[in-house]
Amino acid sequence: METPVVSIIVLTFNQLEKATKFCIESVIKNTDLRKNELIVVDNASTDNTPGFLRKLESSPGKIRVKLNQWNRGYAGGNNDGIRMARGRYIVLLNNDTLTPAGWLGPLVNALETHPNIGLAGPVTNFAGNEQRIELRGLNRQNFEKIAAGYTSRNKGIWFETHRLGFFCVAMRAELIGEIGYLDEEFGIGMFEDDDFCLRVMKERRQSPAVLEDCFVYHMGGASFKHFSHDDYYALFRKNEKYFLKKHGFNWILSDSLLAYWAKLERDFSAFREQTGRLDPNIERALVRFEDFKHLLIQSYVAERKPMDHNKTTSPLAKKYQRQIRREIFRREFISGSMNQKWNYLKAIKSSLIERKWNKV
């Protein structure tokens, strides 16, 4: 049997009529299953999902199904699918997503042409990071038509991030052999995607990337709709503590703000380079942009300070703190007046004295 190019893994748990059926139908409709394969892993659903999947498996095409006897959680269920995968590339796809025509091509192309990309994800309508875009009037009935305009205008455009939402994520199959499977210690779910992204960055020195020319519709929230408010936050806190123990820090709200700032900065710079001139409308934003960045760093420090258990700064914040120090040095000491130079040196001296006393 010919080796498939991509193994698409869909993990299911109930929600057949609200999510799963629509997701799988969209994948079958908009994916060439003669060249790729679809693997569906069910985490012991109690509705009609198992019967639907058995019928699906008997239909023509490269569709395989695994029915778990108990709920193995997000990491465990996806790991089951990964072990079954035969493709050169693997895509993990939530069952509360809808895929449009041509959705798979940009994900594969990014991994084939950019060796520095370790993970690739699409833009979407529902996410907690820079992947979320607001396209006016978009809904699950018209998303293909509206999103196609955006993705066609952004062919080949992508950017690095520190976190990808795993509602849809693509990777090379060999990556699993290099850094291991998703961490099943996270149980039912939450934080295993952040953990996996960090492992890719640390162990492979590769970046998670968001592709502007790929859109996947995300209904959102299907995985935890059966949880009560208290159970949800108990699981969140449990996995947060495990993530902290494993990596030495936790993501906070300011990390997301810094990530959005970095994305906007790249887009402003690209606009300026493309036009070759500074439009007054853009200039009014740019002249305030540096101060905005300083405020974000101050917000980060203020938010982090009460968290005595969490002394380590996230990789994202470290990067921008270094960048800000360089810019202050350039502005105040290299390009500044004699008075600015003197004040800069006094500030450095005060900072060093304060650090010394804090260590005592």
Instruction: Give dist(CA 351, CA 15) in Å, integer.
Output: 56
The upper half-sphere exposure of residue 200, i.e. CA atoms within 13 Å in the direction of its Cβ, equals 30
Residue 172 parent element (H or E): strand 168-172
Residue ranges, the chain, pLDDT below 70: 1, 60-61, 221-225, 275-279, 285-291, 293-294, 297, 300-328, 330-333, 335-336, 340, 344, 351-360
pLDDT at position 355 = 58
pLDDT in tens, 24-66: 999 999 999 999 999 999 999 999 999 999 998 887 667 999 9
Instruction: Note the pLDDT of residue 123.
Output: 96
What is residue 281's predicted lDDT score, i.e. its pLDDT? 72
> In angstroms, rounded to a whole number, what is the distance separating the alpha carbons of residues 95 and 222?
8
Going from the C-alpha of 212 to that of each of 130, 156, 164, 334, the distances in angstroms are 11, 7, 13, 38
How far, in Å, CA of 105 to CA of 32, rounded? 11
218: its two tokens? 């995300």
Q: What is the dihedral of CA 10, 27, 167, 176, to 10 degrees?
A: 60
Domain segments of the chain as ranges: 6-247, 253-359
Q: Which of 19, 8, 190, 16 is nearest to 96 (CA)?
A: 19
Residue 308 is predicted with a pLDDT of 47
Q: Give the total residue count for the chain.
A: 360
Question: What is d(CA 147, CA 129) in angstroms, rounded to the nearest whole number?
Answer: 18
- Specify the pLDDT at position 327: 64
DSSP code for 302: H
In a 10 Å sphere around its CB, with 0-12 CB exposed, 13-18 middle and 19+ buried, how is residue 72 labelled? buried
Neighbours of 336 (CB within 10 A): 16
At residue 143, the pLDDT reads: 95
Q: Which CATH number fits domain 6-247: 3.90.550.10, 3.40.470.10, 3.10.180.10, 3.90.1150.140?
A: 3.90.550.10
Distance of alpha carbon 24 from alpha carbon 51, whole angstroms: 14
pLDDT recorded at residue 360: 45
Helix axis angle, 315-328 relative to 280-304, nearest 10°?
A: 120
**For residue 189, what are its two tokens?**
């779910």
What is the reported pLDDT for 167? 96
CA–CA separation, 206 and 199 (whole Å) = 9
